[in-house]
Structure 1
């Protein structure tokens, strides 16, 4: 490892933790993004990778750059949030989305889907194609929320290289697709953009899972990509937020199974054994024990 790695190995763990706490506090006070209740191990990995990429030796140097250089702060916040997803990058997840949509959207008058902390257009466009193939998109609305205005701008102007469609074709087939991905896109000059008839059913919005309140009722909520980074307290807060936002008999897709002793466990029934996809079966949230 280079000099940066050597300097990090010589940093006392307690000093490194103090530097990390100060950096996270700076992100809250300066930019309003709170990572203090995220799991420490993956958070440190992301920050270390960012340091190596930028040639910074200490967390104090990262904080100094973040506070004084807009480009550095933007890059760090992007690195700490959910990384962008490729089109149909997870066929197993896409298959479960098909099943969840069948359970929760079929028969609903105006079905709404929330992709919480969406992993960019790759994830949102994947869902739109799935719903179009199922005949569910024409009267549905997908709400794709991201953490920052900058990520909103990225989504608004996003496109894929034409070659990516061919590269994703096999994953699309594994996810239950029957046609050609290119049929869902307008391609010009080597750039592929989802057809307007599909894009018109995706509403992009800035939303902070850590601080914002429930903003609508949804038939399907999916959040597999952000939750692994959340610590126990933050995770419980977000699960309660999803519960408050999900209609009775709606479907919830998570990153892992709900623990049997979780306060919300009795309100949900697994769609399939061993899969973290659930149908809500109770109208009211269970009452937490006092204290």
Structure 2
């Protein structure tokens, strides 16, 4: 190690090496600035501890000595930025992986969207096709999907291109059957999919109601009025200031008497908390009342 710079040579760190915390914080700052300046991806206000852990996992997987080496690759090596983006994005969800959440979602959307002629639903920073396709199936079973538009958004253009062409392992359909039933489903999950060469894809008549868009929760403003907003997976990644910014954005994007599903219950310090009424005795589902 260079005694003046604290730098390590290229390659994996020596056994027992522990980076200086202050230096590592600087490296994280520089890496996040590089992602923002070069690719327009803004993770600077995300939860710091979570960012650090995920970035350290990328460093270890790529067998690098420091986060500075990762920054160099992000700027100069094809594929490195996408690797980091995948690591920092909301992890992809499996079909019906949260059956209790899906059951509540089924009830909340059925009651709220049925009186609306052409309801719009927003999935901000969707957890891959697993989350979007779960929603599509629930809406279809509640006889709402034919007139409902689903907008699923992601900040990364590269991840957006991937989900537009995504498939799932066909085996996941059988694995998810029990969770689907626990959510209130009464049929065969596989009936909603076309299967080829061991891969499954949602039926075209259901896929066509999902619009995938590039949108950044960190920087962009309200782009539509929605009758439901579902965001239980992305918000935990945000730092406290960003979380409040996004909660205000959701309030401004939600129609009066629209419903919102979040990662946790609101408290008095949360932005626009007084504008909502809980839908259930417990759980983070709300109706906008003012």
Confirm or deny a common fold (TM above 0.5). Answer: yes
Deviations 1:220-263 (A, max 9, x none): 00111110010111111111111111000100111111112334
8 A contact 1:216–1:245 mirrored in 2 = yes
Counterpart check, 1:258 vs 2:269: no
SS at the partner of 1:128?
helix
Query: Which shifted more, 120-129 or 258-267?
Result: 258-267
- Match in the other structure for 1:223: 231
Secondary structure, counterpart of 2:229 in structure 1: strand
Hey, what's the Cα distance between the residues in 1 that align with 2:216 and 2:101? Answer: 23
The CA distance in 1 between the partners of 2:74 and 2:245, in whole Å, is 28
Of 197, 210, 216, the residue aligned with 2:205 is 197
Q: Which residue of 1 aligns with 2:252?
A: 244
2:141 to 119, 133, 149: 133
- In the other structure, the counterpart of 1:285 is none
**Hey, what does 1:272 align to over in structure 2?**
280
1:219 is paired with a residue of what secondary structure? strand
- The equivalent position to 2:188 in structure 1, one of 180, 189, 205, is 180
Instruction: Give the deviation of 1:71 after TM superposition.
Output: 0.6
In structure 1, stretches of 5+ residues that fail to align are 283-291
For the residues of structure 1 that align with 2:157 and 2:42, how far apart are their CA atoms? 16
For 1:75, the equivalent position in structure 2 comes to 83
Aligned to 1:35: 43
Q: Please, what is the CA RMSD of the aligned residues?
A: 1.3
Provide the rounded CA distance (Å) in 2 between the counterparts of 1:13 and 1:79. Answer: 21
How far is the alpha carbon of 1:4 from its aligned partner? 3.7
1:279 partner SS: strand
SS in structure 1 of the partner of residue 79 of structure 2: helix
TM-aligned CA distance change 1:99 to 1:6, over 3 Å: farther
- SS of match in other structure, 2:68: helix
Q: 1:181-226: CA deviations, max 9, x gaps?
A: 1111112222211111111111111111111111111010011111
The yes-or-no answer on 1:108 pairing with 2:96 is no
TM-score scaled by structure 1?
Answer: 0.93
Q: Secondary structure at the match of 1:70?
A: coil
- Equivalent residue number for residue 287 of structure 1: none
How far has the Cα of 1:106 moved from its partner? Answer: 1.2
Q: CA deviation at 1:179?
A: 0.2
1:154 matched to 2:162: yes
Residue 163 of structure 1 aligns with which residue?
171
Aligned length: 279
SS in 1 for 2:277: strand
Asked if the contact 2:41/2:156 (under 8 Å) is kept, the reply is no
Moved more, 154-163 or 38-47: 154-163
